Structure 1
Amino acid sequence: MPARTYHAPTGGLPPQTQLLTDRAVFTEAYAVIPRGCLSDIVTSQLPFWDKARFWVIARPLSGFAETFSQYIAEVMPGGGSDRPETDPRAEAALFVMEGRIRVAIAGELHEIEAGGFAFIPAGTSWSLHTAGEAPARFHWIRKAYEPVEGLGAPEPFVIPNEAEIAPNVMPDTDGAWATTRFMDHDDLRHDMHVTIVTLQPGAVIPFLETHVMEHGLYVLEGKGAYRLNRDWVEVEAGDFMWLRAFCPQACYAGGPGPFRYLLYKDVNRHPKL
């Protein structure tokens, strides 16, 4: 299988001649952040990180998203952090799009290249630095872990490349729609799942999914038309979608290549009352 490529932002600013009309939208049920919005002026720095900046593309908001935050991190050569996380409740999922990172998790060192994934349980000591002479760009998904008495906590794990996981083909699709699952979906210790959804050109999600799970979707590759609540929205590699619980959703893959996105959802827990 040829090596995958993933669209990652590099910053910059559009020229003064660019029209202001764009696809960015924020509604009561969903948000779309097109890749053109990920400019230099919307990055943040974080405590205890060196030579790094972050696009914060999701965070809990009153009356909207509830369960997670998501960043796109850009760490320059020689940069990183010995104390990346300041909240002991936060678990982390990392997905590398460009470059290489060295991640020490509970004292065990891993080097992860583009296409690699790491899960870090809440309360686990970890550090992260770039490896090599190129910037590293990766997703960092954070969630306050919800422990359940009697289940225990999940262990950390690293998957060097998504290609090592056999995709789970959706029933009755002849391979047109598949998911690459980083977490074991039968392991109820996990309260979030992160997957890569792949739709071949012309494939569809053929019904309006309407469910309790909140979503973050970052388009890694290709383009498609996404139905979000009442609207059809065109999206392409580098765009991010944020879906509130129960937001109806479906899509068409536009081609000419596969339409692929990184997907977060909260799972396996009773709703808070």
Structure 2
Amino acid sequence: MTSYYTPPGGLPPQTALMTGRAAFTNSYAFIPKGCFSDIVTSHLPGWTGTRLWLIARPMSGFAETFSQYVMEVAPGGGSNTPDPETGAEHWLFFTGGLATLTIAGTGYEMEAGSYAYIPAATPWALHAEGSSPARFHWLRKIYEPAPGTPAPDAFVINERDIAVRWMPDTQDRWGTTRFVEPDDLRHDAHVNIVTFQPGGVIPFEETHVMEHGLYVLEGKAVYKLNQDWVEVEAGDFMWLRAYCPQACYAAGPGRFRYLLYKDVNRHAKLRGPGAFGPFR
């Protein structure tokens, strides 16, 4: 049975001992679930009955391509003008509650496990329904068009309708729920779900140009972030800049799953002298 962690909010009692694991380094940030308190929530213009935890934003010299929000929309709340940034593309992944998402005039019923991709410059709206808040992750990125490549289309799907693709030679212990084919060059980023069965590992240090946001949806593991092995569990967030080494050991007892962002399929931007003319 699939479950998705959602922040309960609130504040720890005055009698609580501060035993947090939060860390911000030159190569990664780690925000444990205990940091998702009421005091760090925010609100957005154009949204009603809504609060959010803003857990990633572009920062010079760190992760520069995306923002990520954990949204909580009360019944009856929502927005007809969710984002004034017309150049932004959007990914929504729902972890609880019910909502109607309208994309370019077409309505979709969203529930736990629902996933939506909304292209840049596409009008959309969202309104929560039911008796409990609609909860979802909202990721945003400025879309990078590519010459001769059409822009991607909007789509809505539920992860239960997509089979996990297991990595070769892993005995089905490490796999990915892919919402877009890796070679679909219309897309300049992927937001997927990674699953480890107990005992599954990333048996090498991944070191690559992609920036990452990893929100743990279920289970627990130990995750290597640069030179540190960090215990992680459902509700924790890992934010990795480019080239931060990473590895994983999912010790169990149940599955370990996280929502993963990474930027892909585009040239690296060149900002040196060659970007403005020939060397002299």
The partner residue of 2:138 within 113, 137, 140 is 140
Tell me what 2:44 maps to: 46
Q: Using the aligned pairs only, state the percent identity.
A: 67
Tell me what 2:240 maps to: 243
Query: Aligned partners of 1:202, 1:268: CA distance in 2, in Å?
Result: 31
Query: Aligned partners of 1:206, 1:17: CA distance in 2, in Å?
Result: 41
Work out the number of aligned pairs and report it: 270
Task: Summarize deviations over 1:92-124 as a string: whole Å, max 9, x none.
Answer: 000000111110001110001100100000000
Q: Describe the SS at the equivalent of 2:19.
A: coil
| Residue 265 (str. 1) matches residue 257 (str. 2) | no
CA RMSD of aligned residues (A): 0.7
- How much does 1:259 deviate? 0.3
Tell me what 2:155 maps to: 157
Structure 2 length-normalised TM: 0.95
Q: Which amino acid aligns with 2:33?
A: R
- How much does 1:131 deviate? 2.0
The partner residue of 2:60 within 44, 59, 62 is 62
- How much does 1:133 deviate? 1.6
Query: Aligned partners of 1:206, 1:77: CA distance in 2, in Å?
Result: 44
Q: Describe the SS at the equivalent of 2:39.
A: helix
Task: Summarize deviations over 1:219-238 as a string: whole Å, max 9, x none.
Answer: 00000000000000000000
Q: Describe the SS at the equivalent of 1:44.
A: coil
Tell me what 1:187 maps to: 184
Tell me what 2:225 maps to: 228
Query: Aligned partners of 1:121, 1:80: CA distance in 2, in Å?
Result: 19
Please give the residue correspondences for 1:25-174 in structure 2 after superposition, counting only pairs within 5 Å.
25-159=23-157, 161-174=158-171
Q: Which amino acid aligns with 2:253?
A: P
Point out the more displaced range, 71-80 or 144-153: 144-153
Query: Aligned partners of 1:256, 1:17: CA distance in 2, in Å?
Result: 31
Tell me what 1:19 maps to: 17
| Residue 256 (str. 1) matches residue 247 (str. 2) | no
1:7/1:220 contact within 8 Å kept:
yes
1:222/1:254 contact within 8 Å kept:
no
Q: Which amino acid aligns with 2:211?
A: E
The ranges of structure 1 where at least 4 consecutive aligned residues each deviate by more than 2 angstroms after the TM superposition are: none
Query: Aligned partners of 1:131, 1:206: CA distance in 2, in Å?
Result: 43
Query: Aligned partners of 1:11, 1:250: CA distance in 2, in Å?
Result: 30
Q: Which amino acid aligns with 1:59?
A: R
Query: Aligned partners of 1:21, 1:166: CA distance in 2, in Å?
Result: 38
Query: Aligned partners of 2:259, 2:154: CA distance in 1, in Å?
Result: 20
Q: Describe the SS at the equivalent of 2:152.
A: coil
The partner residue of 2:198 within 183, 198, 201 is 201
Q: Which amino acid aligns with 2:232?
A: V
Query: Aligned partners of 1:183, 1:253: CA distance in 2, in Å?
Result: 25
Query: Aligned partners of 2:166, 2:199: CA distance in 1, in Å?
Result: 16
- How much does 1:21 deviate? 2.8
Structure 1 length-normalised TM: 0.98
Query: Aligned partners of 1:84, 1:59: CA distance in 2, in Å?
Result: 17
5+ long unaligned stretches in structure 1 = none
Query: Aligned partners of 2:220, 2:54: CA distance in 1, in Å?
Result: 22
Larger Rg: 2
1:111/1:131 contact within 8 Å kept:
no
Q: Describe the SS at the equivalent of 1:36.
A: helix
